[in-house]
C-alpha cells in the first residue's frame, strides 16, 4: 500500500464552513445526507463471534479482488479481525433489516446474540456468512491503516457469492433504514 499525502490548502480568511475540525456534530449531520448500502461485517475467534453493521464497504480492486472496510477501533469486532486476519462481508437486502438492527447493537444486543434469528453458516475459510444476503464475501486481511478512531482494512476476497435475488438492497439515510428498488 502506498500512501500519498497532499500539501495542505491555505485556509481562506473568512471560514464559513459548518463542518470543521472541532465541530463533530455538524460533520455527522452532513454525512447523514450520504445514503449507503448496508452490510454486516462478521468476525470470530475460536468459538466466539461478533460483528457490526456498516455502510463503509467499497470495492478496491478487481484484479486481485479486494474490498476496503472501515471499522471503529472501539468496535467489539476490531480485536477479532486484528487477531485472526479474517472477516466476512454480508450485503443485506431490505428484508434483512432486522439483521442490520441486531448487528448495530440495537437494544443492547452484543456478541453471539447478534447471530440469533438468522441461519448463519461458516464457510470453508471459517468466515460466518448469511446465505440469504444479496452477496457474501470471505476476506483475509491484506493491509490495515490506522487513522484516528478507525482502522481501514483492505481485505483480499477469498470467496464471493451472490444469491441472484430480485430483492432490493437495504440502504441507510438520515439515520433510518430503507429499501431501494428499480
CA–CA gap between residue 141 and residue 38 (Å, rounded):
21
SS3 assignment, position 91: strand
CATH code 1.10.760.10 for 24-179: no
pLDDT of residue 17: 66
pLDDT of residue 18: 66
- pLDDT value, residue 24: 86
Instruction: Mention every residue, 6+ apart, whose C-beta is less than 8 A from residue 18.
Output: 26, 30
Identify the sign of the CA torsion 130, 131, 137, 141: positive
HSE-CB for 20 with a 13 A CA cutoff: 5
| Angstrom distance (rounded) from CA 154 to CA 17 | 32
Q: What is the pLDDT of residue 15?
A: 58
State the pLDDT at residue 164: 81
Report pTM.
0.89
pLDDT score recorded for residue 180: 78
For residue 22, the model assigns a pLDDT of 76
Domain boundaries, the chain: 24-179
Which residue do the cell numbers 428498488 mark?
Answer: 181
C-alpha cell at 154: 483492505
Q: Phi and psi (nearest 5°) for 125?
A: -100, 0
The Cα 150–Cα 7 span in angstroms is 23
**Residue 104: exposed, middle, or buried by beta-carbon count in 10 A (0-12, 13-18, 19+)?**
middle
Nearest alpha-carbon partner for 152 in 82, 76, 102: 82
What pLDDT, on a 0 to 100 scale, did the predictor assign at position 165?
Answer: 78
- Tens place of pLDDT for every residue, the chain, 182 residues? 667 777 776 655 555 666 667 778 888 898 999 999 999 999 999 999 999 999 999 999 999 999 999 999 999 999 999 999 999 999 999 999 999 999 999 999 999 999 999 999 999 999 999 999 999 999 999 999 999 999 999 999 999 999 887 889 999 999 999 997 77
Amino acid at each position: 500500500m502506498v500512501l500519498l499525502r497532499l500539501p495542505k490548502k491555505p485556509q481562506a480568511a473568512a471560514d464559513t464552513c459548518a463542518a470543521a475540525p472541532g465541530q463533530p456534530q455538524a460533520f455527522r449531520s452532513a454525512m447523514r445526507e450520504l445514503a449507503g448500502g448496508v452490510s454486516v461485517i462478521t468476525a470470530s475467534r475460536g468459538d466466539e463471534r461478533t460483528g457490526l453493521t456498516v455502510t463503509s464497504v467499497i470495492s478496491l480492486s478487481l484484479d486481485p479482488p479486494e474490498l476496503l472496510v472501515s471499522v471503529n477501533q472501539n468496535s467489539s469486532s476490531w480485536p477479532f479481525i486484528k487477531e485472526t486476519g479474517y472477516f466476512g462481508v454480508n450485503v443485506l437486502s431490505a428484508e434483512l433489516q432486522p439483521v442490520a438492527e441486531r448487528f448495530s447493537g440495537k437494544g443492547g444486543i452484543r456478541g453471539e446474540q447478534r447471530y440469533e434469528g438468522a441461519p448463519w453458516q461458516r464457510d470453508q475459510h471459517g468466515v460466518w456468512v448469511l446465505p440469504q444476503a444479496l452477496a457474501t464475501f470471505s476476506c483475509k486481511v491484506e493491509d490495515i491503516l490506522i487513522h484516528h478512531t478507525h482502522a481501514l482494512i483492505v481485505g483480499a476476497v477469498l470467496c464471493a457469492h451472490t444469491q441472484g435475488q430480485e430483492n432490493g438492497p437495504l440502504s441507510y439515510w438520515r439515520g433510518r433504514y430503507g429499501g431501494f428498488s428499480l
